Structures are given as structure tokens and as C-alpha cells.
Amino acid sequence: MAENVKPRVRVPGTASAGEVITIKTLISHTMESGQRKDDDGNTIPRSIINRFVVDFNGENVIDVQLEPAISTNPFFEFQATVPESGTFNFTWYDDDGSVYTEAKDITVS
Amino acid sequence: MKLTRRQTMLAAMGTAAIAALPIKASAAADDAIAAFTGGAELGEGGITLTAPEIAENGNTVPIEVSAPGAEAIAIFADGNPTPAVATVLFGPLAAEQMAATRIRLAGTQDVVAVARMPDGSFVQARQEVKVTIGGCGG
């Protein structure tokens, strides 16, 4: 289930050094829980994103372990400190082994 | 205050309806929490869980947890088929130890957030969410 997976990330373009910024992320994914049944009564196998990691210039911001109870199109909002200009790297790990990544630059003025 | 017979009846019915609704908390939830805490005592305070009192659609219930200074926060839904919801580990660049997300709830139940503090203690916050339509299919 790796088609049509599109990460969306909102990070401010600029910040002052040490500023606290709010980051919002969303990735389109069905997050099939493994609890649902199809029309014939067969269980639809679980297929979710099980891990979401955010790093800034190689340093960790958050590392989330996701379970089937996370909604379709997993959304996360959190806060990060920006010590210097650099890049936020967002990584999502799918059950099927796929890895989705997104990067956002931020300039400290 | 003097209660009329009608008011008494209504109150009794309301209490009965509320008592009947919640899904029975499973032992699995306690096990899941114990797996995170290692069986440690759960304190109170220092953690905030924000969840709606009533969620119309159990498929996406917005929640927010915040525990200043915490190392990690785990979220559980004690009436779900699998109680664990998410575990958030905070790195050195996490400005405030908070996270907001959207979760699935199978029915009316308690949502529990447990935070691990740097000194190894655990605190929890618990809130009941009433769910009109469950979010686990089936």
C-alpha cells in the first residue's frame, strides 16, 4: 500500500536563534488497522505507518511510535527549538518497509 | 432544592444511561501501561491531556498531550481492541514536551496519557471521551 502517499509539512521559513516553532505534519495514508473486514467477511490486513521521526541537522526532535489507533492520514503537531539555520528531516516508516521522507529548510536571521 | 417525581425519574434514567454506555476497560490496557512503566507507580500532575468530552466520530478524535520536562509520553485508549495508541519520545531539540494528533476510539472510554520523567517516575492523566460512532470498523 505505498501508492498515493504524500507527506505535507508546515514549517516557518525563518526564525530567530533559539526560537520555539510549531511544526505541523500530515501524511496521506489509509492506516488500515487490521480490525476491519471486507464485504466477504475477510479481515483486511494491517497496513500502517509505524514510526515517525523528525531530526534537525542530525539532532532528534521527536520520535513517535504509531499504533493502529492513529487515524487515517496521521497528523502530528509539536514544537521544536531552532538553534541555527538548517534543515528539518521528516521520516515516516511504513509496515511494508517503505520509507517516506520530506525535508524543510529554515533560516535563522 | 425540592425534587419533583419527574425530575427524579429523569435523573435516574440519565445515570443509568451513562453507566451502561462505556466499553468495559480491558485488562489489556493495564498490561499495556505496565509494559511502558515497568509496573511503576503512577503519579498525578505535571501532565495535561486535552481531549473532547464528546466525539461525534470515533475515527478521528483530536487529542493533545503535554508534560513539561518529560522524556516520553505514551497514549492509551483503554477500550480499544489494541489499547496502545502512540509513544512519543522527545529529543534534545523538542522545545516543549507536547504533541497533538488524531486517534481512533472504538467507543466511549477513557483515554490515558502516561509520561516518563527524567528521574524515572511516571505521571498519568486520564479523560473520558464519549463516542457517538465508533472508529474501528467491523
pLDDT tens-digit map of B26-68: 678 888 899 899 888 898 888 999 999 999 888 999 999 999 9
Residue from the list A36, A65, A81 with its beta carbon closest to the beta carbon of B86: A65
- Find the chain A residues whose C-beta atoms sit closer than 8 A to any C-beta of B: 20-21, 33, 35-37, 55-56, 59-72, 74-81, 83
- Rounded to the nearest integer, the mean pLDDT of chain B is 85
Average pLDDT over residues B75-101: 93
Give the pLDDT mean for B72-87: 93
Distance from CA of A13 to the nearest CA of B (A): 18
CB A14 within 8 Å of CB A40: no
Residue B136: its pLDDT value, please?
A: 66
Residues of B in contact with A33 (CB under 8 A): 104, 136-137
Q: Is the pLDDT of residue B72 over 50?
A: yes
Q: Are A48 and A97 in contact (CB under 8 A)?
A: no
Indicate the SS3 state at residue A73: coil
Chain B CB contacts of A69 under 8 Å are 77, 80, 82, 84-86, 103-105
What pLDDT is attached to residue B138? 47
Q: Using CA atoms, how far apart are residues B48 and B96, in angstroms rounded to an integer? A: 13
Q: What is the pLDDT of residues A58-105, one digit of tens each?
A: 999 999 999 999 999 999 999 999 999 999 999 999 999 999 999 999
**Residue A103: predicted pLDDT:** 95
The pLDDT, as a whole number, for residue A2 is 55
pLDDT for residue B3: 64
Chain A partners within 8 Å of B96 (Cβ): 20, 79
Cα end-to-end distance, chain A, whole Å: 41
Q: What percent of chain B has pLDDT over 70?
A: 80
What pTM value is reported for the model? 0.82
Q: Where is pLDDT greater, at B14 or A25? A: A25
Taken in order B25, B30, B31, B35, is the CA torsion positive or negative? positive
